[in-house]
Amino acid sequence: MNDIQSTLCDNIVNALKKTGQCTLIVVYGELARDEGDDLSSVEIAVIVERTLAQDLLHAREQWATRFGAVLSVQYPAEGDWEHTIDILFDESLDLLHLRLSVFEKNERDECVEMLAHISQRILFHDPLFHWKEEVGEKWSRDERRVYAEERVRIAWHRIPEVVRAWKRERMPEALSAYVTSLNDLAFLVRVQKELYPVERGLEDVCVDVDDATARMFQSLSTDLRTKEFGKVLSSFCDALEAVQEELRAELGIIPPSKVIIRSIRECCEV
C-alpha cells in the first residue's frame, strides 16, 4: 500500500475504535470495476449490537451524522486518488454499511490488500471480545446465551456462501463469507467459554480458528486465483469440524451438516 492508502486505513480503524460501538468489521460484497472507468467500489459492514440497532431506528439521522463526521475523510486530488465514504443503515440486518469508493488506476488486488489491512486490524481488536466487562453486566445469562447461539447459527448459514463463491471463482465474495464465518466461530468459542464450564478447552479450538484466519490473510499477498486459498479453506474445515464436535459434546448446540463440510472440501480440490 502507498502512504495515502495506509493513512486512510488508519483513519478508518481509529475512528471505528473511538466510537466503541462496533462489534465486528468484515470485508463485504464484491470489488467491482466498471469497464471504461477507474472506479473500484468496496463495502465494509460494521455489525452493531441489536440493542444499539434498535436505538438507531429512533435516532438514525443524528447518529449517522455524528458517525459520518468521524469517518468522512476527504483527500485533495493527489496523484489519481480521491476518497469518499457514505453511511447507510440496513434496518433488517442490523448492519451499518460504509461504502468506500476508491478512484485510482492500480490493480484490483491492491484494493483487496487495503481492505484486508483494515479488516484484519479490526478483527483482532473486536470490542465484543471483551464483552464480559462491557455487555455482561447489562445482559442476563439467558440473554447472552441466546445471543451467542444466534451468532453461531448465522455462521453456519453463511458457509454455503463460501462454497458458491469459490465455485464461481468470485474471490472477494468467498473471502467475505469466509472471514465472517471464522470470526463468528471465534466469537462463539470465546463467549461460550465464559457461559459454560467445560473440561476440555474450547480455547484450543479458538486458537485453531484464529490460526486459520491468519493464514487466510497471509494468502491475500499471493495470487488469489491460485490454489493457496483452497489450502486455507481446507484448514478452515479442520477448525470447523473441531468446533462442531465441541459444540455437540459440551454445549448441545446442533452443529453444521457434514454435507456442508464435504462440499467445502470438494471445492478445495478444484
User: Would you kindly state where each structural domain of the chain is located, as residue ranges?
Assistant: 3-125, 130-268
Return the ∠ at Cα 43 (arms to 211 and 15), rounded to 5°.
75
Residue pLDDT, tens place only, 158-182: 555 554 554 555 554 555 555 555 5
Length of the chain: 270
Q: Which of 9-23, 36-50, 77-91, 135-149 has the highest mean pLDDT?
A: 135-149
- What is the enclosing helix (H) or strand (E) of 261? helix 258-268
Residue pLDDT, tens place only, 110-163: 444 444 444 433 333 333 333 333 444 555 656 555 555 555 555 555 555 554
Distance, CA of 184 to CA of 26 (rounded, Å): 11
Q: Give 238's pLDDT tier (boundaries 50, 70, 90).
A: confident
pTM, two decimals, is 0.31
Q: What is the pLDDT of residue 125?
A: 32
DSSP-assigned states of every residue in 86-144: EEEEETTTTEEEEEEEEE-SS-HHHHHHHHHHHHHHHHTT-GGGGHHHHTTTTS-HHHH
Q: Which of 100, 128, 103 is nearest to 9 (CA)?
A: 100
